[in-house]
Amino acid sequence: MGRFDGKVAVITGASRGIGRAAARRIVEEGGRVVITARKPDPLAEAAAALGGPDTALGIAGKAHDDAHRAEVIARTLEAFGRIDVLVNNTGINPVLDAVVNVEPSAMAKIYEVNVIAAARWVAAAHQAWMKDHGGAVVNVASIAGQHPAPGLGVYGTSKAALINLTQQLAFELAPAVRVNAVAPAVVKTDFAGALVGEDEAALAATYPLGRLGVPGDVAAAIAFLGSADAAWITGQTLTLDGGRTLSAGVG
């Protein structure tokens, strides 16, 4: 018996990286998935690698586009008949600068994708399925939403908002729907390229567990929080950081 036998998950931003690993994990544990991303070709390749139309459907679009979101929800119900799990994985960080240097338009875009879109995905899944049948939401936040970091201020405040949104939605949507989040430190994906830099070993040495994260580390936590194993957990943010934040900058 897989933890996701008979279950269906919608995972945004899942043609590569953490989202794709989460989709793979859920499929490996018996589930079917609908994955999204902006670029159609890598998304189609990912859906095929996840088992093709019986198991995985890829629907291209922007996470913050209302029409795309409505299409994903409608086509998920049409193809697979239910939405048990929503993983709000899409997140952007187009600027690496001090908060005071970031243009309001760039700030608004980050908030639109990282916070507002996540709230709207939950609203859409809730309205279409979860309010009557229950479900679980997992939001992908970041340790940047828990601690300040050089150059990551606007992104970090958006992830802090996502963490608070997780608590608020957990409160509002209980008991039918559980809402939790994960907060990873640096995970080796395309997204983290600028953070890893040229000396991965030096960065990894600052992690008590001695290495950076890999997408499977986060996928395992997403699968846990999305599954019945986490049936009594809601409103929580699980930090996944190889111990990176334990010393609070002291040691």
Ligand X SMILES: NC(=O)c1ccc[n+]([C@@H]2O[C@H](COP(=O)([O-])OP(=O)(O)OC[C@H]3O[C@@H](n4cnc5c(N)ncnc54)[C@H](OP(=O)(O)O)[C@@H]3O)[C@@H](O)[C@H]2O)c1
- Under the rule (CB under 6 A), what is the footprint of ligand X? 12-19, 36-39, 42, 62-63, 89-92, 113, 140, 142, 184, 186-187, 189-192
Least distance (Å) from ligand X to the CB of residue 222? 10
Smallest CA-to-CA distance from 192 within 238, 155, 230, 233 is with 155
Q: Nearer to ligand X by C-beta: 91 or 133?
A: 91
Least Cβ distance, residue 112 to ligand X (angstroms): 9
Number of H helices, E strands in the chain: 10, 7
Among this protein's residues, is 155 annotated catalytic?
yes
Closer CB to ligand X, residue 191 or residue 224? 191
In the numeric block, the tokens 């986490």 are attached to 230
The Cα 229–Cα 223 span in angstroms is: 9
We find the least distance from the C-beta atom of residue 167 to ligand X, in angstroms, to be 18
Give me the least distance between CB of 132 and ligand X, in Å please: 27
86 - beta bridge partners? 10, 137
Catalytic residue among 80, 121, 129, 155: 155
Q: Which is nearer to ligand X, 17 or 31 (CB)?
A: 17
E strands of 43-169, at which residues? 56-60, 85-88, 135-140
> What is the Cα Rg of the chain in Å?
17
Contact between residue 179 and residue 122 where contact means Cβ atoms under 8 Å apart: yes
> What is the CB neighbour count within 10 angstroms for residue 3?
17
* Closer residue to ligand X (CB): 42 or 51: 42
Residues labelled catalytic: 155
